[in-house]
Chains A and B, each alone.
Chain A
Amino acid sequence: MSHWIAAPIILPAFVAPFIVLAARYHIGVQRVLSVAGVFALIAVACGLAVQASDGTITLYQMGDWAAPFGIVLVADRLSTTMVLLTAVLALFVLLYAIGSGWDNRGRHFHALFQFQLMGIMGAFLTGDLFNLFVFFEVLLIASYGLMIHAGGTARLKAGVQYVLFNLIGSTLFLFALGSIYAETGTLNMADLANRVTLFGAEGTVGIRVAAVLLLLVFAIKAAVVPLHFWLPSSYAEAPAPVAALFAIMTKVGAYAIIRVYTMIFPPDLDATAGLYQLWLMPAALLSLAIGMIGVLAAKKLDRLVAFSIIGSMGMVMISIALFTPAGISAALYYIVHSTLAGAALFLISDLVRTGRRDLNLTPQPAIAGNALTAALFFAGAIAMVGLPPLSGFLGKLLVLDASYDSNLMGWIWLVVLSASLVSIVGFARAGSVVFWKAHSVQTEEDAEAVQAPAALSYAAVGGLIALLLAHTVFAGPVHSYTTRIAAQLFDPMPYISMVVDTPGKLSKPTEGDH
Chain B
Amino acid sequence: MELLVATAIGILTAGGLYLTLRLRTFPVILGISLLTYAVNVFLFASGGLTVGAPPILTDGVETYTDPLPQALVLTAIVISFGMTAVAVMIGLGAFLGSDDDHVDDQPEDDSDRSEGTT
Binding site for B on A (CB under 8 A): 105, 130, 134, 137, 141, 144, 148, 150-157, 159-161, 163-164, 167-168, 170-171, 174-175, 177-179, 181-182, 233, 237, 239, 299-300, 353, 358, 360, 514
A164 to B42, CA, bound (A): 21
Contact among B29, B57, B75, B90 for A156, CB-based, below 8 A: B90
Given contacts A160-B94, A171-B36, A171-B39, contact A179 B86 (CB under 8 A): no
Residues from chain B with Cβ under 8 Å of A144 in the complex: 86, 90
Contact among B82, B84, B94, B115 for A157, CB-based, below 8 A: B94
Central interface residue in A168, A170, A178, by most chain B CB within 10 Å: A178
Given contacts A153-B116, A160-B25, contact A148 B90 (CB under 8 A): yes
Residues from chain B with Cβ under 8 Å of A239 in the complex: 117
A299 to B35, CA, bound (A): 36
A134 to B71, CA, bound (A): 13
A148 to B90, CA, bound (A): 8
Given contacts A156-B97, A174-B43, contact A164 B103 (CB under 8 A): yes
Given contacts A134-B75, A152-B117, A153-B94, contact A182 B47 (CB under 8 A): yes
Residues from chain A with Cβ under 8 Å of B114 in the complex: 152-154
List 19 additional contacts besides A144-B86, A153-B97; criterion CB under 8 Å.
A105-B118, A150-B118, A151-B116, A152-B115, A153-B98, A154-B115, A156-B97, A157-B94, A160-B90, A163-B90, A167-B36, A167-B87, A168-B32, A174-B39, A174-B42, A178-B39, A181-B69, A233-B105, A353-B117
Residue of B nearest to A131 (CB): B75
A194 to B98, CA, bound (A): 53
A148 to B97, CA, bound (A): 13
A161 to B87, CA, bound (A): 9
User: B98 near A178 (CB under 8 angstroms)?
Assistant: no
Given contacts A105-B118, A168-B35, A178-B39, contact A141 B90 (CB under 8 A): no
Interface string of B75-118 (1 = CB under 8 A from A): 11001101110110011011001100001110000100111111
A152 to B116, CA, bound (A): 4
User: B68 near A175 (CB under 8 angstroms)?
Assistant: no
**23 A-B residue pairs with CB within 8 Å:** A105-B118, A137-B79, A150-B118, A151-B116, A152-B114, A152-B115, A152-B116, A154-B113, A154-B114, A156-B90, A156-B94, A159-B90, A164-B28, A167-B83, A170-B80, A171-B35, A174-B39, A177-B43, A178-B42, A181-B47, A181-B68, A182-B46, A353-B117
Central interface residue in B40, B84, B93, by most chain A CB within 10 Å: B93
Residues from chain A with Cβ under 8 Å of B93 in the complex: 148, 151, 156
The reply on B72 being an interface residue by CB < 8 A is yes
User: A181 near B46 (CB under 8 angstroms)?
Assistant: yes
Residues from chain B with Cβ under 8 Å of A174 in the complex: 36, 39-40, 42-43, 76
User: B79 near A160 (CB under 8 angstroms)?
Assistant: no
Residues from chain B with Cβ under 8 Å of A299 in the complex: 110
Residues from chain A with Cβ under 8 Å of B83 in the complex: 137, 141, 163, 167, 170
A130 to B46, CA, bound (A): 14
Closest Cβ of chain A to B17, distance in Å, is 10
Residues from chain A with Cβ under 8 Å of B35 in the complex: 168, 171
Closest Cβ of chain B to A170, distance in Å, is 7
Residues from chain B with Cβ under 8 Å of A182 in the complex: 45-48
Residues from chain B with Cβ under 8 Å of A237 in the complex: 116
Closest Cβ of chain A to B18, distance in Å, is 14
List the 10 closest A-B pairs by CB distance, nearest first. Answer: A152-B116, A153-B97, A156-B94, A182-B46, A178-B46, A154-B116, A174-B39, A178-B43, A156-B93, A181-B46
Residues from chain B with Cβ under 8 Å of A360 in the complex: 110
Residues from chain A with Cβ under 8 Å of B68 in the complex: 181
Central interface residue in A152, A156, A182, by most chain B CB within 10 Å: A156
Residues from chain A with Cβ under 8 Å of B75 in the complex: 130, 134
A156 to B98, CA, bound (A): 9
Residue of B nearest to A162 (CB): B90
Given contacts A151-B116, A153-B116, A157-B98, contact A164 B87 (CB under 8 A): yes
A46 to B113, CA, bound (A): 44
